[in-house]
Amino acid sequence: MDKIDILTIDDDRIVQKIVRKALEPHGFMVRTADDGESGLSQAVENPPEVILLDVEMPGMNGYQVCEQLAEHPEFKYIPIVFLSSHSSLHERMLGYEMGADDYIVKPFEADDLLARINVLLRYAKEQRELQAQIEIAQRTALEALSTTSELGQAMSFMESSLSFNTIDEAARGLLEVTGNLALDCRLMVTLEDRICWFPSEEQISPPWRRS
């Protein structure tokens, strides 16, 4: 069974060790980055399954990293968790506003970290599965609408054909249907003494007669 890839972006080496000790015995592979720039680069080049992100770091802080990750569509279903010593409501709300899925205050319990990550992973899996089902349903609906539209136009032509009085009316009715279906059509009608051509744009009836 493949291990779950976790990326920890934190300049505190002690926190990195704590995260490894808490997660690696439970089937996780923990990668680390010491600052925001290198963490962002790692995440983009090789997206993990969960990102643990410190707030205060040299250079790019955690909020900036989170904001930039949110601009990449591939991170839509990758949980981002802030690990921060800032515990104020303002700091927590700012973390969620930047796109984080959870906010854990340092120091934290290893069991709490593990439990929250597992919950987020299950939620992300459910979201991906739901999105896949939505896309399948949308494709099915579009195909059904397309088929229904084509069939409807064909049935409408068959009903209208009962009221056609001339070859010209029948030809124009058929060309209207093919035009609505984005088909380039040329219609040839063979009569007793001549052949009539009906293109999409205008009627052409060359005076060809059978010999």
DSSP assignment letter at 3: P
pLDDT in tens, 165-175: 787 888 888 88
Please, which pLDDT band fits residue 148 given cuts at 50, 70 and 90?
low
Closest C-alpha among 46, 45, 12 to residue 29:
46
pLDDT in tens, 18-68: 999 999 999 999 999 999 999 999 999 999 999 999 999 989 999 999 999
Contact 153, 180 (CB under 8 A): yes
Q: Which residue has the tokens 């969620």?
A: 96
Closest C-alpha among 36, 61, 54, 48 to residue 7:
48
pLDDT in tens, 31-43: 999 999 999 999 9
Residue 114 CB partners (closer than 8 Å, separation 6+): 22, 23, 26
Contact 69, 43 (CB under 8 A): yes
Q: 182: phi > 0 → left, psi -120 to 50 → alpha, else beta; which?
A: left
Token reading at 79: 């949980």
Q: What is the pLDDT of residue 205?
A: 44
Please, which pLDDT band fits residue 134 given cuts at 50, 70 and 90?
confident
Token reading at 84: 């921060």
pTM above 0.95, yes or no: no
Token reading at 102: 């959870």
Q: Which residue has the tokens 């973390």?
A: 95
Contact 48, 29 (CB under 8 A): no
List 33's β-bridge partners, or say none.
9
Q: What is the pLDDT of residue 43?
A: 96
Closest C-alpha among 180, 178, 171 to residue 202:
171
pLDDT in tens, 81-108: 999 998 899 999 999 999 999 999 999 9
Contact 177, 157 (CB under 8 A): yes
Q: What is the pLDDT of residue 145?
A: 55
φ and ψ at 84, to 5 degrees? -145, 150
Please, which pLDDT band fits residue 144 given cuts at 50, 70 and 90?
low
Contact 71, 107 (CB under 8 A): no
- Strand-by-strand arrangement of the 4-9 sheet: 28-33, 4-9, 50-53, 80-84, 102-105
